[in-house]
């Protein structure tokens, strides 16, 4: 989906900062924190968090907190689980599908924690 169309559908103003952020998330293969993108964006920390918060409110981005106490963001387009290594803090998107249901509950996120393949060698 084009960024312009997405922003228009959500009734948001398309600013250069928003376009810049969404371009980064559209091309990312894994969740990103502010620290992951700060060298690639031309905005301060407050502008970053203000925009990602607006994107979360509009269900464009979703986020979670990792072991390193950082918040990671990614596009909300496809729900999937994440694996977080407790040694190196690497975050991987889990491609295998999970069929987890709890009667009476609505599950939004599945985060698995353990030791990744690299650290397990």
79, 81, 115 from 100: Cα distances, Å: 13, 11, 22
Give residue 74's pLDDT. Answer: 94
pLDDT for position 12? 93
Distance between CA atoms of residues 33 and 96, nearest Å: 23
Per-residue pLDDT of the chain (121 residues; tens, 9 = 90+): 588 888 889 999 999 999 999 999 999 989 999 999 999 998 999 999 999 999 999 999 999 999 888 999 999 877 788 999 999 999 999 888 767 788 999 887 889 999 999 999 8
Give the global pTM. Answer: 0.83
Q: What is the pLDDT of residue 1?
A: 57
CATH dotted code for 3-75: 1.10.10.10
pLDDT number for residue 58 = 94
Where in the chain are all domains bearing CATH 1.10.10.10? 3-75
Q: How far apart are CA 73 and CA 114, in angstroms?
A: 20
Place of tokens 């228009």: 8
For residue 97, what pLDDT is reported? 74
């Amino acid at each position: 989906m084009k960024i312009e169309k997405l922003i228009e559908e959500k009734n948001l103003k398309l600013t250069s900062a928003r376009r810049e952020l969404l371009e980064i998330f559209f091309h990312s293969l894994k969740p990103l924190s502010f620290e992951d993108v700060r060298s690639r964006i031309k905005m301060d920390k407050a502008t970053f968090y203000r925009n990602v918060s607006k994107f979360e409110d509009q269900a464009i981005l979703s986020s979670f907190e990792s072991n390193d106490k950082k918040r990671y963001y990614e596009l909300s387009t496809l729900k999937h689980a994440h694996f977080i290594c407790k040694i190196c803090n690497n975050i991987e998107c889990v491609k295998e599908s999970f069929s987890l249901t709890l009667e009476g509950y609505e599950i939004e996120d599945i985060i698995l924690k353990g030791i990744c393949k690299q650290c397990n060698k």
